[in-house]
């Protein structure tokens, strides 16, 4: 084995580890967020941690690279809005009503289907029959999750599911626009962290209800890590590394396991046990996610190869 092949093998291995780490981060975030929603912390507190803490670390990077210079103001406003408190309060509000497993299903699970539809409608992107079949499987899986909650007497779970779905629409718009406008990492930090922190944190501090004073130190530490640091900063870097070394299709396949992993973790740490329909939902949903996301990412990789060859 040559030196180059050994280096490539090592990079591929670390790429797989990065993709697996991202999967674990998002699944654990579901459990951490549900735990925060069940504590004295309000959804407004969790949002303040998400924007405020991440902005502290993002601000030096943003000031150094000055990404606003290469981004028209209308794009800054639009991109910041899609990742704004409107988005994140839908998400955290959902955890007040629905179990963590439903967050995985109605955010991570339906996300590829919503993104596919937006891309088809707005960007006129090509879609295959297998992708639409995957969309149908995702819808069936989500419906089974709702039926499972009804059987388990989770009366208000549907409210959380709708909030998660609204959050997924925001995030899907973010994904489509970031691809269409070729948004860079520093521009993401500017819009998602810094600008939203400047707009939201003062409003939270002076006007919105807070339960931080009553929260335990362990809960504050958990939410500081999982709202402000790990997903927003570490997760972003790991996704970029995984895509670079194992490809976007493989990374998407790993992400398809987030709903199932989140369900298992919520069972272990929160005691939230799904019923038979809940497990069946995951069995139908997961291959549907793979069919939508992996095919889309493979097509994107082929298109990029054609662009680089033509150029």
Task: Indicate if the pLDDT at residue 16 is higher than 70.
Answer: yes
- State the average pLDDT for the chain: 85
pLDDT for 173 equals 86
What is the band of 44 on the pLDDT scale with cuts at 50, 70, 90?
very high
Please report the DSSP string for 262-274 in residue order.
HHHHHHHHH----
Question: What is d(CA 105, CA 171) in angstroms, rounded to the nearest whole number?
Answer: 14
| Residue 229: CA count within 13 A, CB half-sphere | 6
Is pLDDT larger for residue 268 or for residue 177? 268
289 near 138, Cβ under 8 Å? yes
Question: What is d(CA 122, CA 76) in angstroms, rounded to the nearest whole number?
Answer: 20
Task: Indicate if the pLDDT at residue 78 is higher than 60.
Answer: yes
Considering all CA atoms of the chain, what is the largest pairwise distance in Å, rounded to the nearest integer? 63
Any idea where the domains of the chain sit in the sequence?
12-310
pLDDT for 305 equals 41
pLDDT for 294 equals 64
Residue 158 in tokens = 């549907």
pLDDT for 34 equals 93
pLDDT for 111 equals 79
Task: Indicate if the pLDDT at residue 309 is higher than 60.
Answer: no
Residue 258 in tokens = 């987030």
pLDDT for 249 equals 59
**pTM given for the model:** 0.84
Task: Calculate the CA 214 to chain-centre distance.
Answer: 29
pLDDT for 3 equals 57
pLDDT for 148 equals 85
Residue 181 in tokens = 């406008």
Q: What are the φ/ψ torsions at residue 90 (nearest 5 degrees)? A: -60, -45
231 near 188, Cβ under 8 Å? no
Sign of the C-alpha dihedral computed for residues 89, 92, 98 and 104 taken in this order: positive
The string of pLDDT tens digits covering residues 83-95 is 999 999 999 999 9
Sign of the C-alpha dihedral computed for residues 245, 238, 93 and 38 taken in this order: positive
pLDDT for 308 equals 32
Nearest to 282 by CA among 95, 91, 105, 153: 105
Give the contacts of 218 (CB within 8 A, at least 6 positions apart): none
Nearest to 189 by CA among 118, 240, 248: 240
What is the band of 146 on the pLDDT scale with cuts at 50, 70, 90?
confident
Give the contacts of 217 (CB within 8 A, at least 6 positions apart): none
What is the band of 288 on the pLDDT scale with cuts at 50, 70, 90?
confident
What is the band of 307 on the pLDDT scale with cuts at 50, 70, 90?
very low
pLDDT for 153 equals 66
Question: What is d(CA 43, CA 119) in angstroms, rounded to the nearest whole number?
Answer: 31
Task: Number of helices (H) and strands (E) in the chain: give both, helices first.
Answer: 15, 0
Q: What is the DSSP letter of 257?
A: T
pLDDT for 297 equals 56
What is the band of 306 on the pLDDT scale with cuts at 50, 70, 90?
very low
pLDDT for 299 equals 53
Q: Is 159 strand, coil or helix? A: helix
pLDDT for 268 equals 93
Which helix (H) or strand (E) segment is 81 a member of?
Answer: helix 73-82
């Amino acid at each position: 084995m040559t030196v180059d092949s050994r280096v490539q093998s090592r990079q591929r291995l670390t790429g797989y580890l990065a993709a697996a780490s991202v999967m674990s981060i998002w699944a654990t975030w579901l459990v951490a967020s549900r735990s925060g929603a069940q504590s004295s912390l309000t959804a407004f507190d969790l949002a303040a941690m998400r924007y405020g803490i991440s902005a502290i670390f993002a601000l030096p990077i943003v000031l150094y690279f000055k990404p606003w210079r290469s981004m028209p103001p209308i794009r800054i406003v639009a991109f910041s809005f899609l990742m704004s408190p409107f988005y994140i309060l839908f998400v955290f509000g959902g955890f007040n009503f629905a179990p963590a497993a439903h967050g995985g299903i109605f955010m991570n699970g339906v996300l590829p289907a919503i993104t596919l539809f937006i891309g088809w409608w707005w960007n006129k992107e090509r879609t295959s029959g297998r992708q639409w079949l995957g969309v149908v499987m995702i819808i069936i899986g989500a419906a089974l999750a709702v039926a499972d909650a009804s059987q388990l007497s989770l009366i208000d779970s549907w409210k959380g599911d709708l909030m998660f779905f609204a959050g997924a629409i925001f995030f899907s718009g973010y994904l489509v626009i970031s691809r269409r406008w070729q948004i860079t990492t520093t521009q993401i930090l500017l819009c998602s962290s810094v600008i939203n922190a400047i707009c939201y944190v003062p409003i939270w501090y002076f006007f919105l209800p807070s339960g931080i004073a009553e929260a335990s130190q362990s809960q504050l530490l958990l939410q500081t890590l999982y709202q402000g640091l790990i997903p927003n900063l570490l997760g972003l870097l790991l996704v970029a590394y995984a895509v670079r070394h194992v490809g976007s299709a493989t990374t998407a396949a790993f992400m398809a396991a987030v709903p199932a992993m989140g369900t298992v973790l919520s069972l272990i740490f929160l005691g939230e046990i799904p019923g038979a329909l809940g497990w069946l939902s995951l069995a139908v949903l997961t291959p549907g996610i793979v069919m939508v996301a992996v095919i889309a990412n493979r097509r994107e990789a082929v298109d990029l190869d054609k662009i680089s060859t033509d150029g």
